[in-house]
Structure 1
Amino acid sequence: MRPAAARQGRGSAVLPDPHPDRPRGRLPPGLAAVINALFAGLRWTSLRLRLLLVFSLVALVAAVSASGIAYWLNREAVLTRTQEAALGDFRQEMQDRAAALPADPTPEELQRTADLMAGSAPGYSVLLLDERPDGRTVYGAAGPDAFRLEDVPESLRRAVNDRQKATAAHDAEYHMYWQRTKPHGKPYLVGGTRIVGGGPTGYMYKSLAQERDDLNTLGWSLAIATVLALLGSALLAQVAARTVLKPVQRLGDAARRLGEGELDHRLDVSGNDELADLSHTFNKTAEALEKKVADMSAREEASRRFVADMSHELRTPLTALTAVAEVLEEEVDDLDPMIAPAVTLVVSETRRLYDLVENLMEVTRFDAGTARLVIDDVDVADQVTACIDARAWLDAVELDAERGIVARLDPRRLDVILANLIGNALKHGGSPVRVSVRVEGEWLVIAVRDNGPGIPEEVLPHVFDRFYKASASRPKSDGSGLGLSIAVENAHIHGGEITAANAEGGGALFTLRLPVDVGKVIAGGDAQE
């Protein structure tokens, strides 16, 4: 008798972790410290972090791919070598020993043969069985594991007992089959074949625990190699990012300093790469910008000096003209009716020109940065009342202000602000003009509301622009177009602001906000006691 020809089957087993006590979800303290050092100071939007992530992702994909391929190849090699050795030895033992048994071996003969087969090749268990004509089955089992017929998968038993037709490739009626199983969570290789010509059927049962442990050790080694490769790539990314981004950071710092007004700042250029070209371009741009700003500053200074000198030179003749105009105004009733309108026009235009010159001189002071505050304790209600009374607006203005509100500010400049806001409201909105005064925390709030149609939406963004006229059909008016802009400049020098809006129910609403104590807000010598 002879054993069946060998044929491999296919099976699989999940190999458990050989280190079940290893803590999961935690990094070793040393590794955690390295990772924290790598990511220290990084923002999620920084280019350095993106470079680090790209390097790490590439290294991770490469390491995982290489480790996975290496693990799969080693796993197949280890398992194939083990099962080929075991199955080859088992087949040989079946041919040498089981085939030599008589046609109806006794249980003792089967057991002795099984002992010899298991003893000649330690490492797997052997199960021999022979079916008698009366239906009884005789067994013989030996080996390191308690191996029974129930441990053999049903599919494998059917395949072993399935008689095949003889072919040119396989002339035997019965073939050898194998399968990997995992009873009770432990991996095993089960193989079986049957002696041709009525001999016994044999099964072998080999534990794959050692191979599982070796493969787990290999898996851990590859995992550690992957982590080390990832950390190495992160370090390389840090070095590369520092090398590449350091010139970019210097360029960013230089641009920031340039934006802060240091127009003479330049970059040190080294090398001839793209970053060096960018530094050259930055230096040329900064140089051109410095020259452009210097030219603009010179022209602006010249224009400001011209306006200031012109205004100063105009004050002396305007003072004389104003005096003459006042005399003519007193005599206008005695003049010829044909001459009186001309005299009235000359008087009004002379006063308008005088106001324009005064406003221009005030604007030049703000532009030159020479405007200063003279701070004093001011009763706000009295100050508003004095402003209204001095301009004969008592009948046209309603005041809502509590007595006793005292603020530390410049009373002259507050009078200028109030005069411009209330005068603008009377001129363009109509009476009655309501002025309310209140204190909100550390802020003095004065609201001026007129009784007019309000300010068109397209005009609101420009009401504080110099020489801006809301109506193009009235380019010439009693005002100079500088009143509101001067009011805003006076509010800013106090550390406050003025806003314009349309009030609910109609009318324009200008709101002045000033610090209650300007001395605590203004610094740098802009205020005087």
Structure 2
Amino acid sequence: MGRRRSVWSRIRLTSLRLRLVVVFGLVALTAAVSASGIAYWLNREAVLTRAQDAVLRDFQQEMRNRASALPAHPTQEQLQRTAGQMANSSQRFSVLLVAEDSGGRTVTGNSDLGTFTLDDVPSSLRTAVNRRQPGSSGEKPTYHLYWQRIVEDGRPYLVGGARVVDGGPTGYMLKSLEPEAKDLNSLAWSLGIATALALVGAALLAQAAATTVLKPVHRLGIAARRLGEGKLDTRLRVSGTDELAELSRTFNRTAEALEKKVADMSSREEASRRFVADMSHELRTPLTAITAVTEVLEEELDAETGSVDPMIEPAVRLVVSETRRLNDLVENLMEVTRFDAGTARLVLDHVDLADQITACIDARAWLDAVELDAERGLMANLDPRRLDVILANLIGNALKHGGSPVRVAVRTDGEDLLIQVRDHGPGIPEEVLPHVFDRFYKASASRPRSEGSGLGLSIAMENAHIHGGGITAANSPEGGAVFTLRLPRDASSLVEDGGDRADGGPGGDGEAADAGEGGER
């Protein structure tokens, strides 16, 4: 199958070349065949007419000089002798003389001793020869010379006949046209060879033309492929002033503009990413202090002494919740920055999936709201921390936006793992499905704020991608949303291809993103 694909690939790559060769060949073949056919027809007519005129002229002369000298009723010996004399002319044809003797009997004289008889003369020709033609006023009726070409046993012949006026003998001649036929066959072979050579020359010319035209196109295709692979410094060497040269110049201008555009965009993106990373790091120090203060305030709120003034208690609780939300947002932004910078790495471990999912649910006190359908002893070589982030976001998102109970099912599909998280809520609107994994996406403009950062599902997808997997979102026919996580059972090849193993969190630093941070439904 691979060999077949490569053959078809070559045919597709050279299809334009083949079309050029075929078109050139057809044009050359049509022109050569037409010219050869016309040349053959003209030469054939010229050769046959020249030979025919010479034979008929000689035969007519012999009829006038010898046959007309015979008596009105000659004997067979006289006819035989005259026929032999007539056959010795320069054209060397066979002669048959027919007449009536004095007794009214039909006698014949044959120059070839009986090999040329009246049976060899077509009846239509005999009728035409014996037909008397009316003469002009005051003149006697005359007879004309007639001829016809025939083929016997595959050999061409010329048959002619004439009659002497005033009751003389009737003469017929038979001349073989085989020498002329051989000459015409040689001419046909020569024209055929010339046609074949013209066809070969046209094919070579088409090949040369195709090479001249397609080589720049081929170079342009290679350059476009390199450009598509991200090698934006690709340029074409330009020579000449034709259309292909202008196309190469246009390609170079386009590549140059694209390189500049991409460089500007990369610069802005790098600056934006650096700003987010710097901002996140800068915010961590004051957030740490604020978090410590809010923890103290929260303890005072929960204390039985009631040391917090009831009038400011709602404000204190708002500050505590918003501080936690801001802290989660900063951690998520740092996580996203690591993914964008390509510094996130896997820290693999052999884990039991059922135990891992149970630990994720138990750590967040979701045991009463989640049903687990997972076989014990199903091992996988994954990053347990990143898997916990994925599961926490999917299950937390289902609990927040869907409806209980949330069901988590684990299945295997060949070398892959399928973890399905399904809720019993209203489902996800169809127009929202393509965007649920987008960063900061809000399904409803009327709800621009939520308890989450809007980055959870995006971070979950990035963690799935770094494992070589992915996540899909859909609606169940029975109701509710279904998120399906697909991961390889062994991600060790990704660690070997991606670099050294990290020793800490994502990229070796930072903490896990919290649960339930997906976009709004």
Shared fold per TM-score greater than 0.5: yes
* Alpha-carbon separation, structure 1, partners of 2:128 and 2:421: 103
* Partner in structure 2 of residue 20 of structure 1: none
* Alpha-carbon separation, structure 1, partners of 2:77 and 2:406: 126
Query: What letter matches 1:505 in structure 2?
Result: E
Q: Which deviates more from structure 2 when the two are superposed, residues 438-447 or residues 142-151? A: 142-151
- In the TM superposition, 1:377-392 aligns within 5 A as 377-392=350-365
State the Cα deviation string for residues 427-475 of structure 1 (Å, max 9, x = none).
Answer: 2332222222122222122222222333333222222222222233322
Work out whether residues 123 and 207 of structure 1, in 8 Å CA contact, stay in contact via their aligned partners in 2: no
CA displacement at 1:390 relative to structure 2? 1.6
CA displacement at 1:153 relative to structure 2? 2.9
Point out where structure 2 has 5 or more consecutive residues left out of the alignment.
1-8, 503-521
Query: What letter matches 1:53 in structure 2?
Result: V
* Alpha-carbon separation, structure 2, partners of 1:368 and 1:300: 10
Secondary structure of the residue aligned to 1:399 is strand
CA displacement at 1:119 relative to structure 2? 2.8
- In the TM superposition, 1:20-419 aligns within 5 A as 43=12, 46-121=15-90, 123-130=92-99, 137-143=106-112, 146-166=115-135, 173-332=142-301, 334=306, 335-419=308-392
CA displacement at 1:302 relative to structure 2? 0.3
Mark the CA change 1:208 to 1:454 in structure 2 (over 3 Å): closer, same or farther.
farther
Work out whether residues 58 and 91 of structure 2, in 8 Å CA contact, stay in contact via their aligned partners in 1: no
Q: CA RMSD in A?
A: 2.9
* Partner in structure 2 of residue 3 of structure 1: none
* Alpha-carbon separation, structure 1, partners of 2:375 and 2:222: 52
Aligned length: 489
Query: What letter matches 2:110 in structure 1?
Result: A
State the Cα deviation string for residues 262-302 of structure 1 (Å, max 9, x = none).
Answer: 22233333344444443333333322222221111111100
* Alpha-carbon separation, structure 2, partners of 1:308 and 1:211: 99
Query: What letter matches 2:183 in structure 1?
Result: D
State the Cα deviation string for residues 148-201 of structure 1 (Å, max 9, x = none).
Answer: 333333333333333333369x99633222222223332222222333333333
Mark the CA change 1:364 to 1:158 in structure 2 (over 3 Å): closer, same or farther.
farther
Secondary structure of the residue aligned to 2:465 is helix
Mark the CA change 1:418 to 1:172 in structure 2 (over 3 Å): closer, same or farther.
farther
Mark the CA change 1:406 to 1:167 in structure 2 (over 3 Å): closer, same or farther.
farther
1:528 to 493, 501, 510: 501
* Partner in structure 2 of residue 485 of structure 1: 458
Work out whether residues 74 and 101 of structure 2, in 8 Å CA contact, stay in contact via their aligned partners in 1: no
Query: What letter matches 2:413 in structure 1?
Result: E
* Alpha-carbon separation, structure 1, partners of 2:11 and 2:199: 18
CA displacement at 1:338 relative to structure 2? 4.5
Query: What letter matches 1:300 in structure 2?
Result: E
* Alpha-carbon separation, structure 2, partners of 1:518 and 1:175: 107
Secondary structure of the residue aligned to 1:188 is strand
Secondary structure of the residue aligned to 2:274 is helix
Point out where structure 1 has 5 or more consecutive residues left out of the alignment.
1-39
* Alpha-carbon separation, structure 2, partners of 1:41 and 1:145: 71
Work out whether residues 119 and 143 of structure 1, in 8 Å CA contact, stay in contact via their aligned partners in 2: no
Secondary structure of the residue aligned to 1:374 is coil
Q: Which deviates more from structure 2 when the two are superposed, residues 363-372 or residues 379-388? A: 379-388
State the Cα deviation string for residues 30-74 of structure 1 (Å, max 9, x = none).
Answer: xxxxxxxxxx96646543333333332332222222222221211
1:442 lines up with 2:411 in the alignment: no
Work out whether residues 374 and 527 of structure 1, in 8 Å CA contact, stay in contact via their aligned partners in 2: no
Query: What letter matches 1:420 in structure 2?
Result: N
State the Cα deviation string for residues 501-522 of structure 1 (Å, max 9, x = none).
Answer: 3333333222222222111355
CA displacement at 1:103 relative to structure 2? 2.0
* Alpha-carbon separation, structure 1, partners of 2:13 and 2:122: 56
Work out whether residues 125 and 144 of structure 1, in 8 Å CA contact, stay in contact via their aligned partners in 2: no
Mark the CA change 1:218 to 1:326 in structure 2 (over 3 Å): closer, same or farther.
same
Work out whether residues 380 and 407 of structure 1, in 8 Å CA contact, stay in contact via their aligned partners in 2: yes
Work out whether residues 434 and 448 of structure 1, in 8 Å CA contact, stay in contact via their aligned partners in 2: yes
Work out whether residues 42 and 48 of structure 1, in 8 Å CA contact, stay in contact via their aligned partners in 2: no
* Alpha-carbon separation, structure 2, partners of 1:150 and 1:345: 131
Mark the CA change 1:433 to 1:118 in structure 2 (over 3 Å): closer, same or farther.
farther
* Alpha-carbon separation, structure 2, partners of 1:167 and 1:523: 116
Mark the CA change 1:115 to 1:255 in structure 2 (over 3 Å): closer, same or farther.
same
2:470 to 497, 506, 527: 497
State the Cα deviation string for residues 299-327 of structure 1 (Å, max 9, x = none).
Answer: 11000000111111122222333333333
CA displacement at 1:367 relative to structure 2? 0.9
* Partner in structure 1 of residue 514 of structure 2: none
1:512 lines up with 2:480 in the alignment: no
Mark the CA change 1:103 to 1:336 in structure 2 (over 3 Å): closer, same or farther.
farther
Q: Which deviates more from structure 2 when the two are superposed, residues 62-71 or residues 237-246? A: 237-246
* Alpha-carbon separation, structure 1, partners of 2:482 and 2:458: 16
Alignment TM-score, normalising by the size of structure 2: 0.85
Query: What letter matches 1:76 in structure 2?
Result: E
* Alpha-carbon separation, structure 2, partners of 1:476 and 1:172: 126
**Identity across matched positions, percent:** 74
CA displacement at 1:370 relative to structure 2? 0.8
Alignment TM-score, normalising by the size of structure 1: 0.84
* Alpha-carbon separation, structure 1, partners of 2:293 and 2:14: 72
Work out whether residues 451 and 508 of structure 1, in 8 Å CA contact, stay in contact via their aligned partners in 2: yes
Mark the CA change 1:342 to 1:218 in structure 2 (over 3 Å): closer, same or farther.
same
